[in-house]
Each structure stands twice: as C-alpha cells, then as structure tokens.
Structure 1
Amino acid sequence: MGGVETLARQFEDNRHRLHSVAFHLLGSTADAEDAVQTAWLKASRADFAAVENLPGWFTTITVHTALDQLRKRARLGEQSLSAMAGLDNDPALSSPGSDEQLLRSEAVSRALLVVLDRLSPAQRAAFVLHDVFDLPFDQIGDLLDRSPDAAKKLASRARAQLHAEPAAEPRRRAEHLEVVTAFLAASRGGDIPALLQLLAPDVVRRVDPVLVPAGVPTDLRGAADVAKETRNFTRRARAGAVLLVDGVPGIAIAPGGRLLAVLRIGIGDDRRIHTIDIAGDPDRLRAMVLQLPETER
C-alpha cells in the first residue's frame, strides 16, 4: 500500500496542472474532472514501479484520456447546442459556475475555447500542449503517436485556423471591434443609454427561429425596441465573447466556451450598428469561420 499511497500523494501534487491541461483540451470543467479521475484510476492500476518521471507519466495518461473524449465527440458529431429559450433561466449564468470561475482563474478566454472547438483533436492537442503548456514537439509527437515534425505541422495548421489574415483595412476592423466590444459590455449591464448610442435608429435584429420561443418575432426593428429586448437577455450576454465571424467582428454566445449562438453585427460608416443577425441553426454555425481577434493574439 505504501507505493500506492506515495503515488496518490504525487498525483494530488500534480492534480491542478493535470486539470488545467484537460480543461484546455476539453473546454469543460466537468469533462476535465472526469478525464483527471479516469487518469488516476489508470495510473493506480498500472505497474508504475519502473516509472522514472511520474509527473510526465500522469500528463501522458491525462492527455490520452482527453484525446479519447475528443475523438468520441468527433465520431458522434456531438454538438453543444441547447435551447436558447431556456438559457435565461439557467442559474449558472446568474452566478459564476465552475466553468466560468475556471475561465477566469486559468486566464483562458471564452473566445479561445470557442475556436479551439473547431480544430481536429490532434490539432487542438498539438496547439494547446505547445503554445499553452510549452511542451516540446518530440514529447507531443510521442503523445499523439506522430513524429515531432508532424506534431509541429499540426500546431502550425491550428494557428492558421485560429488567427485571421491581416485585415485589408486594419483601422476599420479595429474600429468595428471597439463597437462590438462596447455593445457586448452594454448588453451585459442592460445599459439602455449606451445601447441607444451604439444602435442606428433603424437597426434590424434578425434571429433564427430555433433560438426563440413561439410568439417572439424573428425580425425586430428600431433602436428602442432592440435595446429594450437586449436588456432582457443580460444573462446570455454574460456568456458572450467577441471574435471574428468570417473575418468580421461578431459575438459568440458560449457558456463555458460551448458555442450556442453567433451574432453577426453589421456596422455602418457612422460606426453604429445597423443589423444584428443571430444564428443558432447548427448548419449555419458549422459553416461559419470563427477566429480570434487581434486582441487575443
């Protein structure tokens, strides 16, 4: 029992780091906890007497477990979509839940988790392990059963998908990012005066029918009505993240980094919002290219 007890102590000493690795790979506190617990069960049942580097061994088991979960998601075509109509009654959005607390403590943005979810399991693992946790590519290659060069290429392809090409009009994109960021902040606070400053008088809000209950119009016109409606959805806004949607600044609604909807924001030359197109249909979401804004680099 002495060996198992020593193993348990060392595992506990490494638990926070292992959980952080699993969270970055899986994007969910619950899934990360499951992965770490599974890793412990595997470690405790293995012949570990000859293991020289226990922290590295724990990491290997945790990464393999997380990769198994990611591959299962890919095979099943798992979507993180849920009925947005019920989201506003979710107590997890009115007070910080475990995912939200971990997002803050890990200093990982919701936007990063959203775009990471678009990568293949191998690309996500290569990027996270190298760019976030500074693992060398020879070690990453061993974890992924690839050569170091192949692991390096996976990480490079991941970066290319995460980051957009430089904007043709960088100043214009920067200005639009400021407007979208201000809109999200005003929406979170239910700040009607600020919203009215940002919205054009004839603004149009369109929403996929799948996101609203019966009786709620899919089209809404006018700054006053759109601002009033926005104030009713402050909890949704708290789960929002600014990112690039097909190269244009927009907002993802993603509790715990899990994508539920995307707001495409149309901004005029007057730097005011003229259209808000809220997409939640799975096919529309899958067709969108989501990338990190320059501020996330």
Structure 2
Amino acid sequence: MNDETPDPFIEHRRLLFSTAYRMLGTVTDAEDILQDTWLKWHATDRATVQHPKSYLVRTVTNLSLNRLTSARATRENYVGPWLPEPLLTTPNIAEETELADTVSTAMLVVLETLSPVERAVFVLREVFGYSHAEIADTLDKTEATVRQIAHRARAHVQSRRPRFDTDTAERAHVTEQFMAACAGGDLNALMDLLAPEVTSWSDGGGVVTAARRPLHGPDHVARWVLGVLAKPSVAGVEFRSAHINGELGALATIGGNPVAAFTYDLADGHIRNLRFQVNPYKLKGLYLDPETLG
C-alpha cells in the first residue's frame, strides 16, 4: 500500500464506531473495540483482504458480540437502572428521523433486551442496510437463519419501542422550560412539564446519588430531581441544551464539565419518559466531537 492510499480503517472509522456503539451502548467499550480492530487490521496481510470495509465491519461486529456477551453478566449486578452512555451528536442527525431513532437513548434501551446475535443482525440490517447475505457472511450463519433472526428482532423492537412525534420547535421549547425549572428549583413548573404517567430512570452506578428504581408520577419525579440538584455537591450547576443521541436534551455542567445528561420522550408537549445519566464513568461521550457518530 503506497503512502497516498488512504488507510481503510481511517476511511471507515465513523462507520466502525457507529456499529460498535449501537451494538454495545457504551462509548468506552466502542472505543476499546476500535482499538482492538485497529490492532487486528494492522497485523493482517492486506494482500489477502479483498474487501477491507467488509473485513473491518465483520471484525468490529464479532468483537462487539464477544464484549456484549460478557457485559450482560456484568450488568446483571449493576447498581440501579443501567442506561446507555450518552453521546453528543450533531443537529443534522436529529433532522434525519430514521438515523436519529436508531441511536436514541430509548432505542438503545430496547436493544439491550435483544440477544447479542439479534442485536448484531438488527443493527447491520435496520441501521446500515446490509443484505441478509452480507450479514450471514459476517456472522458465519446461513442466510435463512439470518432472515429468521432479523424478522424476530424487528418484531421485538417494534413491539417495545414507543414512538413519539414531536416537532423541533416544541422540543426546544420544552427543553428550555425544563432547564429553567431545574435551575430555579421551581417544583410547580417542573411538574407542569411532566405527563401524568411520567417515569424517570437515573443511572448513578452506585457511584453518585441516583434512584435505585424507576420513579413514577410528576410529584415523585419532580421532587426527586430537584432534591438531587439542591445538594451541596452540585452547587454551581448550570444547564445548557445539547443534541444527545440524536435528540435535543439537556446537560448539567459544573465548571464547564458535564455532570449529568437528561434525555426524554415527549408526547403532547409533556415529558413522558425521563432518563437521567449521572454516572461519572459514563459521561465520556459528552466530551467527544459530535461528528464521531455517523
């Protein structure tokens, strides 16, 4: 390979990261997978690789499958609700509804309920548009088997993934109101933004204060959120809107450093599902270039 030929790993890095992140739901693991893929790629005789992109995607997928299988056992002992690691994304992703949906926090939570192989097939087929034959080659399975897995995974996701249609202006308006209510400690204003059937999940991983179980109802959710924000440990907290996992959400920062990410689903102008990521070990994706994800 001469020096002027672009390295296929560099050329396809965004695709590879996107695949690993959607497979694993964590930025840290996705970056580890990319590092392992890079090492394998540079130890490979390039002359034997006819299709570098396919080779790299296959490597990332299989490494992710191995990581996900071991991670599932670890997550069974996780303290409190497990939420995906939030990731900053560009505003243009939010405008591409299908792309945004595949990386939304809500979708990543649903993908957690698939088996590792089902998740791999769903991501490769539904997100990146690979054919059943290509996926069969990647996973070393028959095309018929892949078709069955794809059908099962799609039906599973569709049955569990609620869809909420919210226009951009409405989401921006609710986000501004949410941040103002949190910053001002305004209980009534915050409760007014929450749907009667609101549920909140908070992921502290046992490291920082977080509810160990989902909370239900506007009063319970609002009082808990404002109670956490009133603690001395979060003095000086500031809020700003940000595109997180393809949707406009809110970041809480102290001294410019993210300490919490809020993502939510909206229905009829109210927050239906609120997800509160505060585990400091799961905020790395809030420092990355938003262009990381494709």
**TM superposition score category, shorter chain reference:** 0.5 to 0.7
TM-score with structure 2 setting the length: 0.57
The residue number in structure 2 matching 1:19 is 17
8 Å contact kept, 2:190–2:222: yes
Q: 3-state SS of the aligned residue for 1:100?
A: coil
The residue number in structure 2 matching 1:41 is 39
Match of 1:242 among 260, 265, 268: 265
- After superposition, the Cα gap between the structure-2 partners of 1:116 and 1:165, relative to the gap in structure 1 and judged at 3 Å, is closer
Match of 2:114 among 107, 119, 138: 119
Q: Give me the whole-angstrom Cα distance separating, in 2, the residues matched to 1:112 and 1:200.
A: 20
8 Å contact kept, 1:243–1:252: no
Q: Give me the whole-angstrom Cα distance separating, in 2, the residues matched to 1:200 and 1:60.
A: 43
Match of 1:101 among 71, 75, 88: 88
Tell whether 2:118 aligns with 1:130: no
- After superposition, the Cα gap between the structure-2 partners of 1:131 and 1:190, relative to the gap in structure 1 and judged at 3 Å, is same
Q: CA deviation at 1:194?
A: 2.7
Q: CA deviation at 1:66?
A: 1.0
- After superposition, the Cα gap between the structure-2 partners of 1:71 and 1:57, relative to the gap in structure 1 and judged at 3 Å, is same
Q: Give me the whole-angstrom Cα distance separating, in 2, the residues matched to 1:231 and 1:26.
A: 31
Q: Give me the whole-angstrom Cα distance separating, in 2, the residues matched to 1:154 and 1:241.
A: 30
| Runs of at least 5 residues in structure 2 that lack an aligned partner in the other structure | 94-98, 166-172, 210-214, 230-251, 253-258, 283-294
- After superposition, the Cα gap between the structure-2 partners of 1:50 and 1:196, relative to the gap in structure 1 and judged at 3 Å, is closer
TM-score with structure 1 setting the length: 0.57
1:148-297 alignment to 2 at 5 Å? 148-164=143-159, 187-190=178-181, 192=186, 193-197=188-192, 227-233=222-228, 235=252, 238-242=261-265, 250-254=273-277
Tell whether 2:134 aligns with 1:139: yes
Q: CA deviation at 1:43?
A: 1.6
Q: Give me the whole-angstrom Cα distance separating, in 1, the residues matched to 2:124 and 2:262.
A: 26
Q: Give me the whole-angstrom Cα distance separating, in 1, the residues matched to 2:155 and 2:18.
A: 24
Q: CA deviation at 1:190?
A: 2.6
Question: Structure 2: which amino acid aligns with 1:130?
Answer: R
Q: Greater helix share, 1 or 2? A: 1
8 Å contact kept, 2:86–2:277: no
The residue number in structure 2 matching 1:179 is none
Q: CA deviation at 1:34?
A: 0.8
Q: CA deviation at 1:123?
A: 0.6
The residue number in structure 2 matching 1:290 is none
8 Å contact kept, 2:260–2:277: no
Cα RMSD of the aligned pairs, angstroms, is 4.9
Q: CA deviation at 1:163?
A: 2.1
8 Å contact kept, 2:24–2:30: yes
- After superposition, the Cα gap between the structure-2 partners of 1:255 and 1:237, relative to the gap in structure 1 and judged at 3 Å, is closer
Q: Give me the whole-angstrom Cα distance separating, in 2, the residues matched to 1:221 and 1:189.
A: 20
8 Å contact kept, 1:18–1:62: yes
The residue number in structure 2 matching 1:67 is 65
Q: Give me the whole-angstrom Cα distance separating, in 1, the residues matched to 2:217 and 2:58.
A: 54
How many pairs does the alignment contain? 221
The residue number in structure 2 matching 1:262 is none
Q: CA deviation at 1:121?
A: 0.5
8 Å contact kept, 2:23–2:123: yes
Q: 3-state SS of the aligned residue for 2:49?
A: coil
Q: Give me the whole-angstrom Cα distance separating, in 1, the residues matched to 2:111 and 2:133.
A: 22
Q: CA deviation at 1:147?
A: 1.4
8 Å contact kept, 1:103–1:109: no
Larger RCO (CA within 8 A; separation ≥ 6): 2
Q: CA deviation at 1:251?
A: 3.8
Q: CA deviation at 1:154?
A: 1.4
8 Å contact kept, 1:24–1:113: yes
Percent identity of paired positions between Structure 1 and Structure 2 = 27
Q: CA deviation at 1:240?
A: 3.6
8 Å contact kept, 1:111–1:243: no
